[in-house]
Chains A and B, each alone.
Chain A
């Protein structure tokens, strides 16, 4: 699904990623953990194609394609989805119109027919209920005036509607109380399938109690300094990051 080789990247001339190697196979869930400022979000945004990040070396291959040569929307059309840490508010842009236009843009790019209004409504209602998003919010402007939890649910709803092959969740757990966290995790778990891979970026182990990862990677100072199974997350929870940082430095 995704192979990252020796990826280096900088923001405003400052090197943030210093050689990342990562392979994610179809159906796998990978967690990327690390302290603040370690480069987790940078990696997530580079995968999605946000401006302002300069890739200085290495490569990313997604489904056999050179990902870095693709525009943001082409990546989305190819099945990459980033659930953002800070979803943008879009005043005046109706949530349902937005969802439908996104779905249709992706369908058109794949040579599929646009979704008809009835099927769309059915799907959006069902999936909004799954992530416990108040149906009233579907009629409102995208994220405008939503609470932190509502914004995150809305992200997961978009993910459920767009059915990506590679979903990246950037700190989706931040700012959520335990109930919201569980709902969001349930929504994510519903989407787990042998064809779909996920990268879950998180600071805390908490989310991984609900979304069980196949692999856990620890990102510190722009490098993956340790990879392991889900037990690594538990160890980090108990011991923090510093012992790993010291080990890596030694």
Chain B
């Protein structure tokens, strides 16, 4: 592993060295810091509690390359991936590179752009925010992301804007992504009193092997509300790593609805430290793993101030030799009185070879709080299967219907009908297959 850290370190050094000077000195300094951080941290290993069940040997053995050549693709193949419903704006990335021609936004109060453009223009308001929530990286992958970040979405929604239609952030990979490590960072700012809806998706046009290493920083200002529908449907050969960092100001409300269905290996971590009162953070998630897949969710919600609410409800469907990791940590600090925190994780294990490692953790130091957590790992109820069969459905149809029923608790949370239908269809096929 040390050798790998060293050789990746060389790649990082070279990458930073080759960047044109116009990229903005401010970020260069940050890149250097992150490179140093990476050299110090190295890659995470199984001795670290948060990486115990999520091995990375497979990922490292792929020796993904940092290569930002512009992608080539037939436009219609990307257009087909768009949401069916009308949107307030759309940002499209292909193989990690912003596609200005396919992106647009006409809504008042919304400005969109790419991090790459911000770097070229040395846009200090954007660059100063970059990394301000995430820090230089609490593990090697995040540090590497910051050191070598190539592009990403920059979305700013002005104060007191009410967006009825979602903003779509679409990340598509093509055959051209084969063997590459894509590094993007998204910066999303929702100003005070604004209500918005973001649909963020990762889809693949081919069964390509690549590493998508993403960091997303979301700033939700006072009294703002953001609904964040996020779907990871990467190629089943791909590796996907997402770090989400949230900042909720007073009376802000964030509702994340996530699905992690694709990728051979995926890890999504969500960090939210409440530092202002009366904020509300809700997270709903669905994950699925089949043969050769590992899916990992790490949640880290920290009640550092009083009067905040958090709710997490995650469901997993495991079949074949699929593997899932769920780690939900909620901390309620001594001063965080009147906190409400509820965490639930339910897993449906459909095969003996499937595995789930689930760990809900509630660390409560305040005494006047309402907190709960619960975890279940179970199989389909044979009584329910019999009931459906007694109505003429085959065992396979019965199991499919029950699995979809289990997943629907999360799927139904997605506001977008396109997403609900797509997820239902994907799950239906996976279970049948």
Interface residues of A (CB under 8 A from B): 48-51, 71-73, 75-77, 81-82, 84, 87-88, 90-93, 97-98, 101-103, 105-106, 109, 141, 158, 162
Q: Are the C-beta atoms of A93 and B391 separated by less than 8 Å? A: no
Whole-angstrom distance between the alpha carbons of A143 and B393 in the complex?
Answer: 17
Q: Are the C-beta atoms of A158 and B405 separated by less than 8 Å? A: no
Give the residues in chain B near A93, CB-CB below 8 Å.
Answer: 401-402, 404-405, 408
Interface residues of B (CB under 8 A from A): 381-384, 386-395, 397-398, 401-402, 404-409
Q: Are the C-beta atoms of B401 and A98 separated by less than 8 Å? A: yes
Q: Are the C-beta atoms of A77 and B405 separated by less than 8 Å? A: no
* Interface pairs A-B: 3 shortest CB-CB: A92-B405, A93-B405, A76-B392
Total cross-chain contacts (CB, 8 A)? 78
Q: Are the C-beta atoms of B393 and A92 separated by less than 8 Å? A: no
Selected contact of B393 from candidates A48, A82, A102, A141, CB within 8 Å: A102
Selected contact of A90 from candidates B384, B392, B395, B407, CB within 8 Å: B384
Using A87-B387, A93-B408, A101-B397 as known contacts, list a sample of 11 further A-B pairs with CB atoms less than 8 Å apart, ordered by residue number in A.
A49-B389, A73-B394, A75-B390, A76-B390, A84-B387, A90-B401, A92-B405, A92-B408, A102-B391, A105-B397, A109-B392
Give the residues in chain A near B384, CB-CB below 8 Å.
Answer: 88, 90
Give the residues in chain A near B386, CB-CB below 8 Å.
Answer: 50-51, 72, 88
Whole-angstrom distance between the alpha carbons of A51 and B382 in the complex?
Answer: 9
Whole-angstrom distance between the alpha carbons of A50 and B389 in the complex?
Answer: 9
Whole-angstrom distance between the alpha carbons of A114 and B404 in the complex?
Answer: 21
Query: Closest residue of chain A to B406, judged by CB?
Result: A92
- With A92-B407, A92-B409 as known contacts, state yes or no: A72 contacts B401, CB within 8 Å: no
Q: Are the C-beta atoms of B387 and A105 separated by less than 8 Å? A: no
Whole-angstrom distance between the alpha carbons of A13 and B410 in the complex?
Answer: 43
- With A90-B387, A93-B405 as known contacts, state yes or no: A102 contacts B381, CB within 8 Å: no
Of residues A50, A93, A97, which shows the largest number of chain B Cβ atoms within 10 Å of its Cβ?
Answer: A93
Query: Closest residue of chain B to A87, judged by CB?
Result: B387
Q: List 17 A-B contacts (CB under 8 A).
A: A73-B389, A73-B390, A75-B390, A76-B392, A77-B392, A81-B391, A82-B390, A84-B387, A90-B405, A91-B409, A92-B406, A92-B408, A93-B404, A93-B405, A102-B388, A102-B391, A105-B397
